[in-house]
Amino acid sequence: MFKGVGTFEKEWLEMLLCDVGNCSAKFWDDGRLFSLSIDELNKFNPKEDVYYISVNSKFIPKSSSFIDIKDYFKFDTIYKGLGIDRIAGCYTIENGVIVDAGSAITIDLMISNTHQGGFITPGIGSYLNAYKSISPVLDIPFNSQIELDCFPQKTNDAISYGIVKPLILAINEMAKNKEIYFTGGDGSFFVKFFEKAIFDKNLVFRGMLKAINEQK
């Protein structure tokens, strides 16, 4: 299930939001999504305020227009060192499992607005790079049409199966009958393997907006 653009986004029209990740920075600008590399971001001179969160130490704001909102979040967890991107992704979810599938995949559990914990696993691209580093024979493209109901009969499928199947089992074990919320670049791929799942590309931005509104 995909969650599209709705009335929620109307509240964002005068606001530029930025989520600085490990590899790039994602922006929400008046309904338009775009990305910059970290090098491009460090040269970026915005003409308006940019409300941002960051997990990247290489990002060094050079303008007072960048407003760090990490302290805006009032989040109930005992998890030590929880990334601000994960906090933002969980921030609008009262109950459910939140999966942010990017260069790394983070999985977090929320119950009654309280963070119960979570785990991190490599993303699809990171897995493929790891296989390639083991042997040139394992330098194989990912099969996005992989069939999970039967055992693989060739190496290409075996690698893709080995990436996807364990993660699906782990998410199901955590979710049980709870809703699952996917976001991130590979979220739209993973969501199709679950019945009670929603893909929301703006989930982190929704959390950021909620935190900003709570400061008003």
| pLDDT digits 0-9 by tens, 83-114 | 999 999 999 999 999 999 998 999 999 999 99
Q: How far apart are CA 95 and CA 110, in angstroms?
A: 5
The model's pTM is 0.89
When pLDDT is cut at 50, 70 and 90, the band that residue 4 belongs to is: very low
DSSP state letter for 179:
-
Q: Which helix (H) or strand (E) holds 121?
A: strand 114-122
In this prediction, residue 2 carries a pLDDT of 42
Q: How far apart are CA 130 and CA 125, in angstroms?
A: 9
User: What CATH number matches the domain at 7-123+163-214, 3.20.20.70, 3.30.420.40, 3.10.20.600, 3.40.50.970?
Assistant: 3.30.420.40
Report whether 145 contacts 161 (CB < 8 A).
Answer: no
Residue % of the chain over a pLDDT of 70: 94
Find the catalytic residue in 19, 30, 85, 100: 85
Residue % of the chain over a pLDDT of 90: 84
In this prediction, residue 199 carries a pLDDT of 97
When pLDDT is cut at 50, 70 and 90, the band that residue 7 belongs to is: very low
Burial class (CB in 10 A: 0-12, 13-18, 19+), 54: buried
Dihedral of the CA atoms 46, 47, 51, 55 (nearest 10)? 10
- Identify whether 85 is a catalytic site residue: yes
Length of the chain equals 216
The answer to whether residue 117 scores a pLDDT higher than 60 is yes
Q: How far apart are CA 55 and CA 110, in angstroms?
A: 21
| pLDDT digits 0-9 by tens, 32-61 | 899 999 999 999 988 899 999 999 999 999
When pLDDT is cut at 50, 70 and 90, the band that residue 6 belongs to is: very low
| CB burial readout 9-36, b (16+ within 10 A) else e | beebeebbbbbbbeebbbbbbeeeeeeb
